[in-house]
Amino acid sequence: MPPLSADTLIALDRAHVWHPYGPMPGTVTPYVVESASGVRLRLAEPVAGGQRELVDGMSSWWAAIHGYRHPVLNEAVREQLGRMSHVMFGGLTHEPAVRLAARLVEITPEPLRHVFLADSGSVAVEVAMKMCLQYWQSIGRPQKRRLLTWRGGYHGDTFHPMSVCDPDGGMHHLWGGVLPGQLFAPEPPAGFDAPLDPEYASQFEELMERHADELAAVIVEPVVQGAGGMRFHSPAYLRMLRELCDRHGVLLVFDEIATGFGRSGALFAADHAGVSPDVMCLGKALTGGYLTLAAALCTSEIADGISRGEMPVLAHGPTFMGNPLACAVANASLDLLLGQDWAVEVKRISSGLSAGLSAASEMPGVRDVRVQGAIGVVQLDHPVDVPAATEAAAREGVWLRPFRDLIYTMPPYVTGDEDVARIAAAVTAAAVAG
């Protein structure tokens, strides 16, 4: 088959293909990516300013931490392809999955011992919720089935995860009668270094106390709230949650799908606080951005509880559970990450972003500039003109994908200093244009 011309490809795309959060037919023309290597996306045709290669400021939504077409990751996939791409996981097992699960248990906080491999982040969150609800059901407390979270969160796009996304950002008003009604505390006070606000803590506890009998779990994104608004909060609030959950007999779920594997400056955001959740969700960077794979890890207490129930099994089993290709590349990605001083790289990018974005805080239209780990955010005082901001970044030779009032970046950890500076300049240019 001859390759499609760029025009044909775009026409077919606009006519037939849904994109994330997109209208149908599509209204804005996406860039066509021909290939990608290192931290650069190669486009089929030049875009704004004649650029045909863009430095990736997004890591393909937190995932491609080692960049693209990495020789070690490519080799891991090729090697696994030579054995098998997939076999069902019911009644069968294989080394890539077992190795990965054992590794995840080893590197995550202590009492997490059991791993459910899911095929996307949203499904991992579904499974985490199912673990919690089924635990209470199994130990004779079936009325404990609601979830509590704080506002400003994002946990995925399937219905139960949607129910704990921010009610406004997640457009809950569209889904009356469909979404389960969960409980919401106010957003955690902003600032990684901010001291714990005792007023907030007592409000949170009051809410929890009032509903403890019906609460299965608290679920939050630790330290960094990602797609819900790119807000950072103090690890002190995670310690607060751990204490309150213990005191009131409620499970604690950390959704580390975005924060996991070093992004926030600690290997897991929970490590900033020195606390462990009862369930942890991982995804996104798990395979270094190669294939879709996620995981929900839980403690033995939860697994044992479920085993004592009337239905003593975790009732979930995706067709592509434990996909060997995805597990093999996840193992290689973990080798790469843990085989280097990743914290130094994250800190280097953090400093580069802080330096490069500092001038933006003085600009008109900018409400806030913040950096945490290898994440840089410029928040405007108005909604971003996404096409204009995207084009301004592309003129600087950088790929960015702003949303709402946010222009933000989380570069691959292998991004060199010059490219980090370039990304920061593009974020600034996008803030001016958008």
Annotated binding site for pyridoxal 5'-phosphate: 121-122, 255, 318-319
Residue 291, both tokens: 């294939």
- Is 21 labeled as catalytic in the residue annotation? yes
- Annotated binding residues for substrate, written as ranges, equal 61, 154, 284, 317, 401
The one catalytic residue in 68, 135, 154, 413 is 154
The footprint of ligand PLP (CB under 6 A) covers: 120-122, 125, 154-156, 221, 226-227, 255, 257-258, 283-284, 294
Active-site residue 278, yes or no? no
**Hey, how many other C-beta atoms are within 10 angstroms of the C-beta on 5?**
11
CA torsion through residues 344, 350, 354, 355, sign: positive
In the bound complex, what is the minimum distance in angstroms from residue 375's beta carbon to ligand PLP? Answer: 12
Identity of the residue, 123 or 357, whose beta carbon is nearer to ligand PLP in the bound complex: 123
Marked catalytic residue, from 68, 119, 237, 284 = 284
Which residue in the list 119, 255, 278, 419 is annotated as catalytic? 255
Using Cβ positions, the residue closest to ligand PLP within the complex turns out to be: 121
Q: How far is the CB of 288 from ligand PLP (least distance, A)?
A: 14
- Minimum Å distance from CB 283 to ligand PLP? 5
Contacts by residues 358-365 (CB-CB < 8 Å, ≥ 24 positions apart): 359/428, 360/427, 360/428, 360/431, 363/428, 363/431, 363/432, 365/431, 365/432
Closest by CA to 301, choosing from 143, 140, 136, 142, is 136
3-state secondary structure of 400: coil
When the beta carbons of 121 and 397 are compared against ligand PLP, the nearer one is: 121
Q: DSSP secondary structure string, 223-284?
A: SEE-TTT-EE--THHHHHHHHHHHHHT-EEEEE-TTTTTTTTSSSSHHHHHT---SEEEE-G
Does residue 25 have a cis bond before it (omega within 30 degrees)?
A: yes
Summarize the annotated binding site as residue ranges.
61, 121-122, 154, 255, 284, 317-319, 401
- Which lies closer to ligand PLP via its Cβ, residue 296 or residue 392? 296
- Of 138 and 259, nearer to ligand PLP (C-beta) is 259
The helix/strand/coil state of 337 is helix
Least separation in angstroms between CB 256 and ligand PLP: 7
Active site residues: 21, 154, 255, 284
